[in-house]
Each structure stands twice: as C-alpha cells, then as structure tokens.
Amino acid sequence: MDALSSHREEIHRLSEEVAVLQAENLSLLAENRSLNAKVEALVARLEGG
C-alpha cells in the first residue's frame, strides 16, 4: 500500500470517528438540556414552597 492510500484510509477512519463523536455529543447535549430543565423545575418548587 502506498503512502497516499494509507493517508486516505486514515482520513476516512478519522472522518467516521468524528461523525460518531458528533452524534454522541448531540445526544449528550440533549440529555444535558433535559437534566437542566429538571433541575430548574426542582429549584422552582423548592423556592416556591
């Protein structure tokens, strides 16, 4: 395998890894927003009552 093919394969592998990490990041952001909303609701309940 020549260097160019090797680099192309590495770029492809890294691109796939980036896509997976982006998807995981979006999932974690959604989970974080959900948890923040729950915390805000709990704080509002505690402050109100």
Inside any domain, residue 38? yes
φ, ψ for residue 36 (rounded to 5)? Answer: -60, -40
The count of structural domains within the chain is: 1
Q: Determine, yes or no, domain membership for 7.
A: no
Q: State the DSSP string of 7-26.
A: HHHHHHHHHHHHHHHHHHHH
Q: Is residue 4 one of the residues assigned to a domain?
A: no
38: containing domain: 23-49
In this structure, is residue 29 part of a structural domain? yes
Q: Say what the alpha-carbon torsion angle 4, 6, 8, 11 is, to the nearest 10 degrees.
A: -130
Residue 15 belongs to some domain of the structure: no
Q: C-alpha distances in angstroms, 45 versus 15, 37, 42?
A: 45, 12, 5
Instruction: Give a yes or no: residue 41 inside a domain.
Output: yes
Q: What is the pLDDT along the chain (49 residues), one digit of tens a residue?
A: 799 999 999 999 999 999 999 999 999 999 999 999 999 999 999 999 6
